[in-house]
Amino acid sequence: MKTVVVNPNTITRGWYMVDATDVPLGRLASVVAALLEGKHKPSYSPNQDHGDNVVIINAQKVRFTGRKPDTKTYFRHSRQPGGGKRSTLRDRFAGNPAWVLQHAIRGMISRNSPLGRQILRKLHVYKGDTHPHAAQKPQPFAVKG
């Protein structure tokens, strides 16, 4: 049996549109990460980018379970003494719901730096239900929530 290596020029990429309305954040992030990496394709290999483009709409309507909005915290540091800042999921989501989704999906993409950054370029998250990717004709993809 021969090992099949796919030529990067022959990889076909599709466009999917995911509606985040009333879908739990973690479930949405794991499904979208698999689509971005191309794990749903039979030609998947971890050292190549086989994934599709994903457009997420209605990011402001994603659902959180349990007490996560008040207990989950994000930490950042300015590298200056005393420059650490914490914020809760509720605060971050009120400011920029698209960032929360992107951060959750980034955590589920493989840690291979150059390939991970290349994969994340195919993610497009929008707060409302309008997006500028109508010309690409994204196919609807339902995430069960």
For the stretch 35-56, pLDDT in tens is: 999 999 988 888 889 999 999 9
pLDDT in tens, 79-102: 999 999 999 999 999 999 999 999
C-alpha–C-alpha distance, residues 133 and 62, integer Å: 21
Domains of the chain listed by start with CATH number: 14-65+72-141 (3.90.1180.10)
Q: Report the alpha-carbon distance of residue 24 to residue 31 in Å, rounded.
A: 11
Q: How many residues does the chain have?
A: 145
Pairing of strands 123-125, 53-57: parallel
pLDDT at position 120 is 95
What integer pLDDT is reported at residue 15 of this predicted model? 97
The residues that bridge with 54 in the sheet, in sequence order, are: 16, 123
DSSP 58: -
**CA 26/CA 10 separation, integer angstroms:** 32
